[in-house]
Amino acid sequence: MRGGQRGRALEHYVRAYRINPTNMDAVRELRLAAARQRTGESLAAEAPGTTTGGRLLAKIFGR
């Protein structure tokens, strides 16, 4: 997730996962993002106006 645009990168990984659920790179990045969220690392601080990791991951994993 380069350039401090984590929210945008996560959106792309979500799209890749939805197209191909066996995409191991997308699955790995989404799991890492979920782990970062659980540890309290802020995903919204990078760029204002981007989708926050919490809401995005809730959509993905149905939480």
Packing angle of the helix pair 6-19, 53-61 (nearest 10 deg): 10
Tens of pLDDT, residues 16-25: 999 999 999 9
Give DSSP secondary structure letters for 1-52: -GGG-HHHHHHHHHHHHHH-TT-HHHHHHHHHHHHHHHHT--SSSSSTTSPP
Tens of pLDDT, residues 11-63: 999 999 999 999 999 999 999 988 888 887 654 454 444 445 566 667 777 65
Nearest to 7 by CA among 63, 49, 60, 58: 49
Q: Say which residue the tokens 């191991």 belong to.
A: 24
